[in-house]
Structure 1
Amino acid sequence: MLHYWLAHLAYHFSRQLPKRSRTKFEILVVLMVTIFLLPQIFVLLRPKSSRYCVQPLLVNLTSFIIFTFIMTGFTVVLTLMDPIPNEVKVAFHVYGVGSFAQGIATTAFTVAASQCANTTPELYYLSLVLSVLSVLATVLVGFLIPFWLADLFNKGMVLNRRSRAGVCQKPVANCSHLWHV
């Protein structure tokens, strides 16, 4: 869920900016993705990372890097397009399910690979950090899912910006970028 949440967050922050300022935001997004991607590639290229580990942490890191590249593409598309076509939304949410599965796999492999801290320390500790971030992102998205579903089935019940009504109107009145349906 980490990749899904980061792209989702970038989308909402971009919507707070005027359209003419979004290219500056895109440059910032590329810099942030690079900062997020550099440790992953660094650990992947380390000679110690190819040592034997009971769990497939190296394969998992490779798939995590692939998800990061896909996240970059979705982030660029979501922040530049206005309005976003339904096909892109559906593809993004399917990607979110894949990101959730990737987070579960990362967490499961890391929990079972405590002995890899001795053989492949950089790989193990990076997997540990990515697992914690994935769990935190899953908790954040999991908190929002009931609100998204409630608003899907009863439009305007949770947040109606035009009439300034709904269950969540007061909490998000000043931070509307935190909300998404």
Structure 2
Amino acid sequence: MRRTQAERSEETRKKLCQAALDAMNEVGYGRFSTEDVALRANVSRGALTHQFPSRNALIIAAFDYLIFSWETDWLDFIGKNERRLSPDEVTDFLWDRLFQAGNYIASLEIMLASRNDDELGNGIREIMVKWASSRDNAIATLLGVSLDRPETDEFIQLSLCVLRGIALHSSFSSNSTKELQRSLLGKWKEMLVAVYGNDWQMQ
């Protein structure tokens, strides 16, 4: 069956978004270029500019594409999961499905760059507000606790800060290994159990 023009256009957009994320992950925001993205996606410059008339439009779309992929993966897991997770299990979930997921560092590059570009910042913040709400609700659901309790938000934000730090450190430290990452995660989980217990219920 022949694909429609809309289907071909959507496929091109996805290829460009993925290529943009790969480029951002590998070379960073400072050396990011639409020319490189077009080469990675194996599409012409004209096809790229037809889909995304500006560099910022491409970056915002790529960020939205990445967030959507995370949300889809998380919702699929939650739909299949039949029990609530302990704090240390949620830590493993976050590490494996967010901080070690493909292109996480690309998301940091984009968020940091958006601080100094109003156009980019407005687009990224709009996506981030929706993602933060979806993310926090998903984590609370996995824990089986209420997001309305201050302790829940404290746990979520503290965990995100620690894991983000480990991921960022791992991205540029020559001393970082998988073994070191797992050791740091293990220590963090020990701290979580000491504070919250391993069978955390607040409802």
Alignment TM-score, normalising by the size of structure 2:
0.33
- Structure with the greater relative contact order (CA < 8 A, sep ≥ 6): 1 or 2? 1
Alignment TM-score, normalising by the size of structure 1:
0.37
